[in-house]
Copies of this chain bind each other. A is one copy, B any other.
């Protein structure tokens, strides 16, 4: 019992420390997102977290460690969810199902990026400057990361004749690029005069563009007009 008590006590300790760590990291994410990594001082982060500057160093080695640790804010769970959703594309051979599922996937992807928009922002301005190793860690938490998984699934579509024959590496990355760019323009470059678009519309249009392309199909024209 004594030992249990200790253990549970220490578990409590650890949990508290983990919470504290996360609390600081979230404060840092907000601060970095606001002014950029280099422009943010440890004092500001401390103030944002409501603690003393020195305390940060009890949980993080140094300022860069905060940056490196940021991706951990995006729970593994989130990444797993996203990957699972990508997996749900498997075995959908009917275009109608495909469109619905893909649209849903894109919508959720956008939602997740916006949910972690602060990390995303910091990522964007920091990644070009990072060393190889850190960058790798960062990119694992990025939509970019899902490219190969998407490509593999599309491969089955091609094999089944649902998709035409094409370079799937390129096509998968193109799809991600579209999604990425919308979030980039609207959420990361804020306050500009670009008219903000509704993400449901965006998801729907991207889905169609990807699936059907832009050209009018002689036999589809009627349908398209009926739909809209």
Which A residues form the contact surface with B (CB < 8 A)?
Answer: 33, 35-39, 95, 121, 124-129, 132, 135-136, 139, 144, 154, 161-167, 169-171, 173-174, 176-182, 184-185, 188-189, 191-192, 194-195, 197, 201-202, 205-206, 208-217, 220-221, 224-225, 228
Main SS class of interface, A: helix
Chain B contacts for A213, CB-based, 8 A: 208-215
Chain B contacts for A154, CB-based, 8 A: 214
Q: Name which residue of chain B comes closest to A157, CB basis.
A: B214
Minimum CB–CB distance for A27 against chain B, Å: 18
Chain B contacts for A202, CB-based, 8 A: 170
A162-B216, A164-B221, A208-B213 known; 18 new pairs, CB 8 Å cut-off, are: A39-B129, A124-B125, A135-B189, A135-B191, A139-B192, A144-B194, A165-B224, A167-B197, A170-B202, A171-B214, A173-B181, A174-B178, A174-B182, A174-B209, A177-B178, A177-B184, A178-B178, A212-B215
